[in-house]
Amino acid sequence: MAKLEAFDEREILETFNRAKQIPLDTNNAPMIGRKTIGAQLYSDRFSENVLVDVFLAVVERYPCFINEDSAALKWSARGYRSLLQLLIESFLALVSPNRKRKSRNKNQKNTKPPVELSISERHRIAKAMLPVDLAPEGRTWSYISFALSLSDFVTNFITDLKDAIDHGCISFSALVFFMHDRRFSHELNDPTLLSIAAFLGPLRATTVEAFVQHRTKEFRQKCRDSLLEVERSSMSQEEWRNRLSNYPRVTNEDPPKINPIPFPTFRLYATNLIKDLKGEASRNDQIHAGWAHAVIKKVAKQFYEDNTVKEEHLDEVIWTVLAQRPYMKVFVVKLLTQKYNDASMAEKWKQFACSYSRRSKIRTGTETQLNPLSPNPSFLSIPESVASISFVDNIERLSSIEELLEDCALTDYPVIGLDAEWSSYTSTTSATILQLATRRDIFIVDIDAISQRRLKVFFDRLFGNENLRKIGYQFGEDLVQLRSAVPKCLSLYRPRNLICIDALAQILYRKSANCHDVNLEGILHSQGKISSDESDETSRIQDADSSSNLDEDVEMTKENGNAEARDEEPNSLPKGLSALCKMLLGHPLDKTEQCSVWDRRPLRDLQIRYAALDAYSMLMLYDKCTEWAKRLNLDINKLCEEQDPINVSVPLFCEED
């Protein structure tokens, strides 16, 4: 069929109707990929010289279309919050660079997209997308940035971005995206943008903190003033109107393209924002309903089909979910009886009753009883030299640890291993335990049982102690979770002498590639052969036509300023703590308990063994790296000192900022 060289309203309407008719499977997911959808809606019907015009016409006419078609307004599918998102992302799939799986050919470039656009065409699309109302928590703007390669025209686009803000023609979703994106946010030097964003939608504390990080003290103070003005505006509707009139940019168009949110909604959002920024928000930790259903199905499959978890793990997940969402009992019983034919298990949960307040007091009677120090055949185990594992759940025990750590810092081995755990079965996460390991003892600090004030003192002494070397594995996310538990502890933003064991091992591995005469027997196990052209093949990128790989597309590019891709280097150890342990220590970690319920009390014996070993393995790996460095005639202390320190901006409303 010949492609159209021109189009009219009928062709645009046909595009909408075709999008509505995309086939969905039983899980309400499109049965074809984004690129195929894009071809059916755009490239198979229209000539390339009109594709951009067609797409922009579709976006422009979308509001009128859904006003006349209630079914289109209500349309949604798995992975797509609206028909507009499908229309946009399917077009972007046609013009985005195709990312191929890694190859040993370092010079391999991305293959050409099905439809190539000039920089001016991409610029035109990006500019037209600024006022489009998209889901603020969605992924679409990240994909726009990736697909259109905004980095190719940052300077020119900054002008369009500022102009859209000044004329009230930028949507809330676009504004918060660019406030997050490092390439653009520091070009937006107006603190009142925070007020504007607050008038337009649910501004989050995370967006505020991203916008103000690495700014001058003067700029941060102006941002605080702007947010305090938002707080005052939420006090009364009259105050809100007065403040709103001071920001003509919010409603500059006649009629306005972008409307501020109504006062009741603004008041709710503003109150929650300020409380969150000040660390005063009361959190609703109830697990998201969609995740609750998914995780029960996942763990049930692991227990009944894969045999990769024990009954105690399935029990605790069902317990914590039903304690939060009792109505899901029907779903659980149906799943256990109809899919797994386990009537006795179903009957047990049919009789279950537990209040939300007791969701962490899990008692099922199926817990494995063992000594957490006991060996775990086929996996890495805690050495016999370790004397004890202690659970620290009160101030007295915490004070004893402080003294022990201060003494440790003065010894000839001032090194401890660190790890933290948090539960995935709540809507918001924060660290619930912190594990610390010395040569002879392992401590598990119950963060939930000790006050924030006392934990702040403890963390300051721990992470602020320059003389105590703290070893963790990619500890950045652990710090995020610890900050969530104790928000105003400065040492968690600027920890001293905190060493990443993965980075240390990677450096030694790369240096060893050039030292072929060095004997590494006893250092590397199993796959320890070093080759100058070795490449990591653990990363797998899905086919670009998959409807489920949007997040991978975005992750694989530095287009998104918040999630830079970390490409594997040719000479690198395999990723993951368990793989690193297998390589250097001869045995992997048993990761069965990784996704268990970490905020339950008491912890199960298998959880304690897992948590303790995660921390102690840091010391085992550090000792191995020390020996490795000696064989390479390198100073382990110097290698540690050369690691870049963690230095994260403290919260905007932190008392000590």
Tokens 């656009």 belong to residue: 117
| Domain enclosing residue 106, as ranges | 1-186
Q: Exposed, middle or buried: residue 96 (CB in 10 Å: 0-12, 13-18, 19+)?
A: buried
pTM for this one? 0.79
Residue 249 has what pLDDT? 62
Q: What percentage of the chain exceeds 70 in pLDDT?
A: 88
Does 546 fall in a domain? no
pLDDT in tens, 267-297: 999 999 999 998 887 767 899 999 999 999 9
- Last residue of some domain: 126, 154, 186? 186
352 and 452 assigned to the same domain: no
Q: Which ranges constitute the DSSP H helices of 201-342?
A: 205-212, 217-233, 237-245, 263-277, 289-301, 311-324, 329-334
**CA nearest 415: which of 611, 211, 220, 636?**
636
* CATH assignment of the domain containing 584: 3.30.420.10
> Do 112 and 142 belong together in one domain?
yes
Q: Does residue 529 surpass a pLDDT of 70?
A: no
Q: Label residue 255 by pLDDT band (50, 70, 90).
A: low
Q: Are 172 and 136 in contact (CB under 8 A)?
A: yes
Domain-located, residue 473: yes
Verify that 589 and 575 share a domain, yes or no.
Answer: yes
Please give the Cα distance from 512 to 183 (Å, whole number). Answer: 36
Question: Which of 167, 186, 205 finishes a domain?
Answer: 186
pLDDT tens for 319-357 read 999 999 999 999 999 999 999 999 999 999 999 999 988
Are 496 and 629 contained in the same domain?
Answer: yes
What's the structural domain count of the chain? Answer: 4
Position 80 in a domain: yes
CA distance 65 to 387: 71
Task: Please state the rounded mean pLDDT for residues 132-139.
Answer: 82
Interatomic CA distance for residues 49 and 52, integer angstroms: 7
- Cα-based distances in Å from 130 to 60, 147, 171, 253, 558: 12, 15, 6, 14, 21
Same domain, 396 and 254: no
In the structure encoding, which two tokens stand for residue 411, read together?
């010894």
Whether 122 and 238 share a structural domain = no
Q: Do 627 and 488 fall into the same domain?
A: yes
CA distance 617 to 417: 7
Residues 52 and 130 in one domain: yes
> Does residue 655 sit within a domain?
no
Extract the tokens encoding 484: 């969530």
Res. 16: pLDDT tops 50 = yes
Asked whether residue 93 is domain-assigned, the answer is: yes
Is residue 541, in this structure, part of any structural domain at all? no
In a domain, 609, yes or no: yes
More confident residue, 305 or 539: 305
* Residue that is last in its domain, among 132, 166, 186: 186
State whether 347 and 410 are in the same domain: no
430 close to 481: Cβ distance less than 8 angstroms: yes
Domain match, 152 and 219 both? no
Indicate whether 543 belongs to any domain. no
Phi, psi of 441 (to 5 degrees): -135, 150
Q: Can you give the pLDDT at residue 168?
A: 86
Q: Are residues 120 and 235 in the same domain?
A: no
Assess whether 134 and 236 both reside in one domain: no
